[in-house]
Each structure stands twice: as C-alpha cells, then as structure tokens.
Amino acid sequence: MQPAATRTVNLTVRPLTSDTWDDFETVMGANGGARGCWCMHWRLSIEEWMEGKGDGNKAAMRNLAARETPPGVVAYLDDEPIAWCGFGDRSEFPRMQRSSLLKPIDDEPVISVTCLFVKKGHRGEGLSSELIVAVCDYLAETAEAPTVEAYPVEPAAGRRAGADNAMTGIASAFRAAGFTEIARPRRDRPVMRYSLR
C-alpha cells in the first residue's frame, strides 16, 4: 500500500548510525532539537531526561545510533541533511507507556513514530508529509512490525501547535501520507496508524 502523498521533492532517508551522526547533529543544531533533548524525551523518565539534558542526552542517543537497530532516520533534500524522524518498537519508549494520554490502546505490535524535526531554514516548506512517506517506505523494507503508529497533535482551526507539542508531528501531515485515525484520547491528540503490508 502506497501512502497518499505524492513525491514532489527528492527527499531520501538514511538510518542514524555512526556514519550519519554528523548529519544528525547538523539537523538537530546546538540545542539538540529543543532544550537539549536529542530525541530522548520518550526514551527516558523525566528525571533521567532532565539530568541528561544536553550532553547526557546526546551521548545516550549516540549510543543508540551505534546499535544494530537504528533509533530513526536522517532525511536529505538532495544531499543536504534537513530533517530527522525518531522511531522504534513501542516498548522502547517507557515514558510513553506510562502516559495516560499516549499509553498503548491495544496489543498490536507497532513501530512508534515519536519525533519529526525539520531543520531551521526548511520549516514551512510542506516537507512533513514527504518525510513521513519516506519513513514509511524505509520501514516497509526494514521493520518487523506490520504497522506504524503516530501520536500527532491537531491544533484548533486557525491555530498553530507550539514547538513542544509539535514534536510528534501534525495530524494533517500524517493524513496526507495515508495514515488513519484509530483513537482520540484527547480532543487535540489523535492516534494514527499506517499499514506497511
């Protein structure tokens, strides 16, 4: 099944490894995305995340990049690294498991998409759906789980999501990439899925 979005740019993805680490740093910038996160928000308790804020979280993500299963992909526009998508088996995100808002809705094995981050200078270009399509294409070739699950925000009409809330993506971008809403634990937080097979 192909996502609904059609490619209008040459966006490709590569797994985060030691070979692509410098590109990941380029995308995340000096702040590690936002507030020293380095995409460790869902992987740690709030206490661990705060303690590691900055260099500690960066080192933790670098360790994840060295393992066999990558923690996400770096996206490239032509050859320029411009975005990041963090994902993994739902069990890899203990903070999400404990969340009353984002806890699992069933026992289906899923790959959780937990972060979409576009580098400054490329935001507002409509790349989110393209990124999601490229990630799903990558996961269709590499993931064992048959389903991708996402936890985007859906801002009220005429409003924008704040940076802290938007890290999981915007619902309209996932819809454009072929995702379907399967639950809505809160008015502005749908849970969406895409079948890889």
Confidence of residue 97 (pLDDT cuts 50, 70, 90): confident
Residue tagged 């009409």 (tokens):
157
| pLDDT at residue 5, as a whole number | 46
Q: Quick check: helix, strand or coil at residue 119?
A: coil
pLDDT per position as a tens digit, 127-182:
999 999 999 999 999 999 999 999 999 977 666 655 555 789 999 999 999 999 99
Class of domain 11-195: alpha beta
User: How many whole angstroms from its chain centre is CA 143?
Assistant: 15
Most confident of 3-7, 88-92, 164-168: 88-92
Which residues pair with residue 88 across a beta bridge? 112
How would DSSP label each residue in 20-59? THHHHHHHHTTTTTTTT-TT-TTTS-HHHHHHHTTHHHHH
Q: What does the DSSP 8-state code read for residue 156? A: P
Please indicate, yes or no, whether the overall pTM of this predicted structure exceeds 0.85.
yes
pLDDT at 2 over 50: no
Non-local CB neighbours of 151 within 8 Å, separated by 6+ positions: 96, 102, 112, 113, 114, 168, 169, 189, 191, 192
- Write down the domain spans for the chain: 11-195
| pLDDT at residue 102, as a whole number | 87
| pLDDT at residue 118, as a whole number | 93
| pLDDT at residue 166, as a whole number | 74
C-beta separation of 38 from 84 below 8 A? no
CB-based burial of residue 63 (10 Å sphere; 0-12 exposed, 13-18 middle, 19+ buried)? Answer: exposed
| pLDDT at residue 151, as a whole number | 96
| pLDDT at residue 162, as a whole number | 54
